Structure 1
Amino acid sequence: MRPFLLIGSRDHDEVADDEYRAFCAYGGLAAEQLHRVRAEAAPLPEIRLEDYSGVILGGSPFTASDPGWEKSPLQKRVEADIRVLLDQIVAEDFPFFGACYGVGLLGTHRGAVVDRRFGEPVGPVKVRLSAVGLADPLCAGVDTAFDAYVGHKEAVRSLPPDAALLAGSDTCPVQMFRFRRNLYATQFHPELDLAGLERRIDAYRHSGYFPPEEAEAVKERARGAHVSEPQKILRNFVQRYARP
């Protein structure tokens, strides 16, 4: 099988390594089947899409919808590098899965309105599949409504007409969408389990997602949910697009 490519941009080593582990575990991938590039560490190398089964874009502390003057030189460089790769991915309709940060980058690339209106606090939310989502192959075997972990400052406010809305929640109407046939993004984290979420809460407690003194209460709220359905979406992506 040609490997999948994970593009990360987390500068916290423990969280970055745990994200890679989770994508391997819940995607059903061995380490050699998921190559990783950390975009925050260095400019993206030359990437030949034909060498991969698909591309996965992980989460990030960056927020795509921030005005340019608020973005650091590092964030601007990372986003410029990924934008160039997205040009090629979109042109070829190459299998792509963006998780959380991928909503902002793929969404803005395709003309969605992305802003802070529908940000959600860290923790579980109830996600519901749309009629289109129920028929999509990435949602095969997934419950119509399920718990998922979120935590984001920005979200899609409106999709362009050529996008397919696959899932939403009461607090964020666009939780999952598809462009063309093979370009997907989820606002929720399909790779995230409770242990991983708690590690991120510790790592990002001073990053503005919640008051630092509320970290333990945020963890406690997360423990009250049973999150297992989102991982099926990730596994479906891998199984659908894996190729020799």
Structure 2
Amino acid sequence: MRPFLFLGVRPEDAPADDEYAAMLRSTGLTESTLRRVRLEAAPLPPVDLTAWSGIVLGGGPFCVSDPEHGKSAVQRRVEADLARLLDAVVPADTPFFGACYGIGTLGRHQGGLVDRTYPEPVGAVTVRLTEAGRADPVLGAAPPAFEAFVGHKEGLTVPPPHAEVLASSDGAPVQAFRVGRNVYATQFHPELDVAGLTTRVEAYRFDGYFPPEEADAVLAAARASAVRVSGVLAAFVRRYAGPGLHPGADAPERDAHPWSEIGSAQG
């Protein structure tokens, strides 16, 4: 009965906590079955991949395509921690799901081109599954075309040569891809609803995603959209939850896990 690991990178408490709450809702897991570690707060300890049913990486304000001289020490350390993690995750084909920031992180790690060619403004887009996406056990849980929230300055212009592209949109040719059988990334936010987007718009109003004076218009358009949580993350959990662990089930006690102190302090 192994829990899932959620890795957050948001430095701001309000959107960080709101994202974790959204991940809990969209996966159907509890705090004991989706353990949180905030990577921006402290270095990532060694990860025993066999201790987890899967790993989920959230979004955040970092861009892997930022000029190196402009990256903060925290951003550089987070990127190095994630690169080391993926060095182990990908060869082992460990279940992994990266949302938004995750597509840049995994895409660059696997040899794709991540740059500023395909940004998308904050708001709803139509995501369309490819033939491979419709057949995929995780992305295929969503309808062939569905609305989802995005908001990113960079995107995957060229996917890794060995990746399977699972979804696209008019503004971004790669909205989701898979490496191996079990390693996923999406450009869109599968966990995000209007309430969560509102929290993020307020937190990042002055971060260059949109002119600050347009925040009310961005939120009005979001409220008028047809976005519903797609079920993709719940499908990821159903696919990889081991025996005795399912959405809503209790995991072993926190003190039975070597990361119990990190989980209780940061989650």
- The bucket for the TM-score relative to the shorter chain is over 0.9
Instruction: Report what 2:45 is aligned to.
Output: 45
Where does residue 232 of structure 2 map in the other structure?
233
> For residue 176 of structure 2, what is the amino acid of its counterpart?
M
In the TM superposition, residue 229 of structure 1 has moved relative to its aligned partner by 4.9
Identity of aligned pairs, percent?
56
SS of equivalent residue, structure 1 residue 146: strand
Amino acid at match of 1:184: Y
Structure 2 counterpart of 1:242, one-letter code: A
| Aligned-pair CA distance for 1:170 | 0.5
Q: Deviations over 1:137-166 (max 9, x none)?
A: 012342111100000000000113211010
Q: Distance in 2 between matches of 1:39 and 1:103?
A: 17
The DSSP-based 3-state class of the residue aligned with 2:32 is helix
Give the partner amino acid of 2:151: G
| Amino acid across the alignment from 2:221 | R
TM-score under structure 1 length normalisation: 0.98
**CA-to-aligned-CA distance 1:105-153 (integer Å, 9 cap, x gap):** 1000000100011000000001100011010001234211110000000
- Within 2, Cα distance between the matches of 1:151 and 1:229? 16
1:61-76 matched pairs, under 5 angstroms: 61-76=61-76
Q: C-alpha separation between the residues in 2 aligned to 1:134 and 1:22? A: 24
Match of 1:153 in 2: 153
Structure 1 segment 214-229 matched on structure 2, within 5 A: 214-229=214-229
- Alignment partner of 1:78 is 2:43: no
TM-score, normalised by the number of residues in structure 2: 0.89
Runs of 4+ in 1 over 4 A off after TM superposition: none
* Structure 1 match to 2:26: 26
Instruction: Flag structure 1 segments of 5+ consecutive residues without an equivalent.
Output: none
Cα distance between partner residues in 2 of 1:169 and 1:54: 27
SS class of match (2:22): helix
- Report 1:152-191 matches (<5 A): 152-191=152-191
How many angstroms apart in 2 are the aligned matches of 1:44 and 1:107?
20
Distance 1:128 1:140 in 2: 11
**1:107–1:156 contact (8 Å) kept in structure 2:** yes
> 1:11 Cα deviation (Å)?
0.7
| Aligned ranges 1:101-116 → 2 under 5 Å | 101-116=101-116
Deviations 1:172-211, CA, capped at 9 Å, x for gaps: 1100000111010000000101100001000000111001
- Does the CA contact (< 8 Å) of 2:26 and 2:229 recur in 1? no
State how far apart, in whole Å, the 2-side matches of 1:141 and 1:50 are: 26
1:54 equivalent in structure 2: 54
Select between 147-156 and 42-51 the one with higher mean Cα deviation: 42-51
Contact 2:124 2:148 in 1 (8 A): yes
User: Residue 262 of structure 2 corresponds to which residue in structure 1?
Assistant: none
Supply the distance in 1 between the matched residues of 2:222 and 2:195 (Cα, whole angstroms): 10
**1:214 partner SS:** helix
Distance 1:158 1:219, change over 3 A: same
Q: Give the equivalent residue in structure 2 for 1:243.
A: 242
Helix, strand or coil: the match of 1:65? Answer: coil
Separation in 2, partners of 1:104, 1:188: 12
Given that residues 10 and 61 in structure 2 are in contact (C-alpha distance below 8 angstroms), is that contact kept between their aligned partners in structure 1?
yes
CA deviations over 1:24-68 (Å, ceiling 9, x no partner): 111010110001110000111222111110000000110011121
| Contact kept? 1:143, 1:229, Cα under 8 Å | no
CA contact (8 A) 1:126 1:169 kept: yes
Structure 2 spans left out of the alignment, 5+ residues: 244-267
Other structure's SS at 2:237 match: helix
Aligned residues of 1:142 and 1:229 also touching (Cα < 8 A): no
Rounded Cα–Cα distance in structure 2 between residues aligned with 1:53 and 1:217: 40
Distance of 1:133 and 1:122 partners within structure 2 = 24
* 2:12 alignment counterpart: 12
